[in-house]
């Protein structure tokens, strides 16, 4: 048996038939990063479990791919199992195991091969090339296998086929030996399409706008072939032009002396950026009209999927400076990166590299940035691990519905780590609730606020005191707050590396919250102030120190007193009170959520779930086991 465990996305529910409809969505949401032996994975898949070979972080889409060691191939075109197996063995490529799918029949074989690389692959380009090589050299594979987020359902065959759990493949040697340029079709994920040129002069409907277009050079041929030299020639790019454009851009981004900043950032003719996010901000701000070779105003759509005979496209700039190609005819919008992908039929990474070469820009992170980036990625992955679930069961239970929020925040922050923006050796970030809503892909600002409060309370997302923030960055935050009319300055955050030493006390806090069945809807500054006191409230809400010392409002104190009076009188009369009779709609229910822990602690009460013994003790009839409030000494 091979005791080595491999990481993948895994869901252990054993289906007896292929999941359909909503079941598929259930599986997608339930897949979590898991360390599993190849033997256990093989047995589970043969009994209906599901998995994704790639490890995804912060979501379940291809863009969330992080690393991969398993590789799967799906055979459903009728080739026989033994024929396929003999072919791969003859190529010197040995699978760890095979299994039949739910749709397998003796007259029509449907099965999967699973391979294991001899090391973890963290480079997406290498992963894509290996997957494409396996598919191309073996042939007859379902092309959907290529996707980085590809999910494989198990089967009901119950028998592992051709098990060889110690078998490993080597990506480098397979690619070197078998790669064929024809396999690029899998990477582009589409058959080559005709690259339509927008040449309105040939149209019988030629008008003034079309004549204006003739004064511009159509650059789609250079972009579609990723020809750096040709596009640079068309654009008339030289160092003077690049430096002028970069100085113009630096006025919007940098805070140091303009001439000194630019001189320091140009190394061997290549412009260096402080962070990955800064580089992408610059790329998206490039002159898209000039890049594409299209006129001002409206022009004919240049997308290869749209036969546009009259001008319907234009370019506009968003609030953050991103230039967008928009066609009203086909209702498509593209950034400089995505339109390059479409015109060249290439992967996003290839489009980015092409643009970087054309404009001679680069991002080379420092050793410290790389270290901090890895710490954040590791922390995001840690939340999906069995180690985390076993070590911190209370935290794991409490954040279960909000875990993806902090993972997405962590992965977003990896792009913004900056040598010049740190405090006490750790990176600093600032973000408004609106920004966090976009990062977490949520539309409810209240839920995001609750998530931030929860993670701050658990020391998983720390808010930094304003007097610790560099003056330039603090001024930026003040500008944003003034622009949007925020009452307080945009918060600055830091992340501690997740582990036993940083989360030990957080587990105790989580236990306190769970013990009294805290509702995240009631998690607020007032709840923390009433439950944990001023010191904790100051840590979770550092910009509200003055308000924290003022205490709670007279109105909330009055409502809290009224609620406590009703609870105590009812318990005095009958020994208990149903929580549902306290947690009613409106102001009373809201205040109960904020004051529950304070009331329970102040009057020696406890919130418990009914059971048969308590029903008998208090003479409670009826179905169900709702929560009641009783005196602590009675439980």
- Three-state SS string over 402-468 comes to CHHHHHHHHHHHCCCCCCCCEECCEECEECCHHHHHHHHCCCCHHHHHHHHHHHHHCCCCEECCHHH
**Greatest Cα pair distance in the chain:** 92
> Distance of alpha carbon 200 from its chain centroid, rounded?
42
Examine the pLDDT at 415 and tell me if it is beyond 50.
yes
**Using CA atoms, how far apart are residues 564 and 567, in angstroms rounded to an integer?**
5
Contact present, 313 and 301 (Cβ < 8 Å): yes
Backbone angles phi, psi at 54, to 5 degrees: -80, 150
Average pLDDT, the chain: 84
The pLDDT tens digits of the residues spanning 257-311 come to: 223 333 345 555 555 677 888 888 889 989 999 999 988 788 888 888 888 777 8
Q: Which stretches of 124-238 are DSSP H helices? A: 124-138, 171-178, 184-188, 208-213, 220-224, 228-235
* Residue 615 phi, psi dihedral angles, 5° rounding: -60, -45
- pTM to 2 decimal places: 0.56
- The rounded distance, in Å, linking the Cα atoms of 134 and 131 is 5
Q: What three-state secondary structure class fits 510?
A: helix
State phi, psi for 484 to the nearest 5 degrees: -100, 5
pLDDT tens by residue, 127-153:
999 999 999 999 888 888 889 999 999
Cα(224)–Cα(577) distance, rounded to whole angstroms?
A: 72
pLDDT in tens, 172-184: 999 999 998 888 8
Name which of 37-51, 201-215, 346-360, 379-393 the model is least confident about: 201-215
Retrieve residue 188's tokens: 């582009």
Across 213-235, average pLDDT:
79
Confidence check: pLDDT of 329 > 80: yes
Residue 450 φ/ψ region, left for φ over 0, alpha for ψ in the -120 to 50 degree band, beta for the rest: alpha
Does the structure show a pLDDT above 90 at 394? yes
Q: What are phi and psi of 286, to 5 degrees?
A: -60, 150
Region 410-430: mean pLDDT is 89
SS3 576: coil
Q: Has residue 191 got a pLDDT over 70?
A: no
- Neighbour count for residue 380 (Cβ, 10 Å): 25
At a CB cut-off of 8 Å and minimum separation 6, what does 65 contact?
A: 54, 55, 56, 124, 127, 148, 149
Pairing, β 266-267 against β 270-272: antiparallel
d(CA 344, CA 224): 4
Side-chain half-sphere exposure of 586, counting CA atoms within 13 A = 5
Q: What's the pLDDT at 201?
A: 32
Q: How far apart are CA 377 and CA 278, in angstroms?
A: 19
Residues 522 and 450: their CA atoms lie apart, in Å, by 8
For residues 576 and 630, is the Cβ–Cβ distance under 8 A? yes
Please report the pLDDT score of residue 213 as a whole number.
Answer: 36
The arithmetic mean of pLDDT across residues 556-560, rounded, is: 91
User: What SS3 state is found at 539?
Assistant: helix
Q: What is the DSSP letter of 233?
A: H
DSSP state of 490: P
């Amino acid at each position: 048996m091979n005791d080595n465990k491999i990481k993948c996305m895994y869901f252990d529910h054993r289906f007896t038939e292929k999941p359909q409809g909503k079941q598929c969505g259930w599986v997608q949401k339930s897949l979590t990063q898991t360390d599993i032996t190849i033997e256990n994975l093989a047995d589970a898949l043969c009994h209906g479990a599901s998995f994704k070979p790639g490890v995804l972080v912060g979501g379940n889409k291809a863009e969330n791919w992080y690393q991969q060691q398993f590789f799967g191939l799906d055979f459903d075109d009728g080739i026989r199992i033994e024929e396929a197996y003999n072919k791969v063995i003859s190529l010197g490529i040995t699978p760890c195991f095979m299994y039949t799918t739910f749709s397998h029949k003796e007259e029509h074989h449907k099965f999967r091969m699973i391979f294991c690389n001899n090391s973890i692959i963290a480079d997406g380009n290498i992963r894509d090339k290996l997957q494409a090589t396996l598919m191309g050299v073996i042939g007859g594979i379902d092309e959907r296998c290529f996707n980085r987020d590809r999910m494989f359902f198990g089967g009901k065959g119950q028998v592992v086929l051709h098990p060889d759990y110690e078998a490993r493949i080597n990506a480098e040697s397979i690619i070197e030996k078998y790669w064929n340029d024809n396999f690029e079709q899998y990477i582009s994920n589409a058959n080559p399409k005709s690259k339509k040129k927008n040449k309105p002069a040939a149209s019988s409907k030629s008008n003034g706008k079309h004549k204006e277009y003739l004064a511009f050079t159509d650059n789609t041929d250079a972009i579609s072939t990723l020809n750096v030299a040709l596009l640079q020639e068309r654009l008339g790019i030289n160092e003077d032009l690049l430096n002028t454009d970069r100085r113009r851009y630096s006025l919007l981004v940098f805070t140091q002396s303009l001439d000194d900043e630019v001189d320091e950032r140009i190394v061997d003719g290549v412009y260096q950026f402080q962070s990955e996010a800064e580089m992408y901000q610059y790329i998206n701000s490039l002159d898209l009209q000039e890049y594409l070779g299209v006129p001002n105003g409206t022009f004919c759509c240049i997308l290869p999927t749209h036969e546009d005979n009259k001008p319907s496209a234009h370019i506009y700039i968003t609030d953050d400076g991103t230039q967008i190609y928009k066609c009203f005819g086909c209702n498509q919008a593209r950034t400089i990166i995505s339109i390059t992908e479409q015109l060249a039929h290439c992967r996003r990474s290839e489009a980015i590299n092409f643009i970087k070469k054309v404009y001679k820009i680069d991002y080379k992170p420092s050793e410290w940035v790389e270290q901090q980036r890895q710490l954040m990625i590791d922390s995001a992955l840690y939340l999906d691990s069995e180690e985390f679930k076993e070590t911190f069961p209370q935290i794991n239970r409490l954040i279960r519905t909000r875990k993806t929020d902090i993972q997405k925040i962590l992965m977003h922050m990896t792009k913004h780590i900056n040598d010049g923006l740190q405090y006490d050796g750790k990176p600093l970030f600032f973000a408004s609730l609106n920004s966090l809503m976009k990062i977490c892909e949520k539309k409810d600002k209240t839920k995001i606020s609750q998530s931030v409060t929860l993670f701050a309370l658990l020391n998983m997302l720390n808010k930094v005191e304003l007097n610790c923030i560099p003056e330039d960055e603090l001024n930026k935050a003040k500008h944003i707050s003034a622009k949007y009319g925020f009452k307080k300055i945009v918060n600055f955050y830091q992340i501690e590396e997740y582990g036993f030493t940083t989360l030990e006390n957080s587990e105790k806090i989580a236990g306190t919250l769970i013990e009294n069945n805290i509702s995240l809807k009631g998690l607020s500054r007032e709840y923390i102030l009433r439950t944990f006191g001023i010191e904790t409230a100051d840590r979770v809400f550092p910009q509200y120190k003055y308000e924290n010392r003022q205490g709670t409002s007279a109105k909330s104190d009055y409502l809290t007193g009224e609620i406590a009076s009703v609870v105590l009188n009812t318990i005095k009369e009958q020994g208990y009170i149903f929580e549902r009779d306290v947690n009613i709609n409106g102001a009373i229910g809201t205040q109960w959520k904020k004051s529950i822990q304070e009331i329970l602690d102040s009057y020696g009460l406890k919130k418990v779930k009914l059971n048969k013994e308590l029903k008998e003790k208090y003479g409670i009839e009826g179905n169900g086991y709702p929560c009641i409030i009783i005196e602590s000494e009675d439980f």
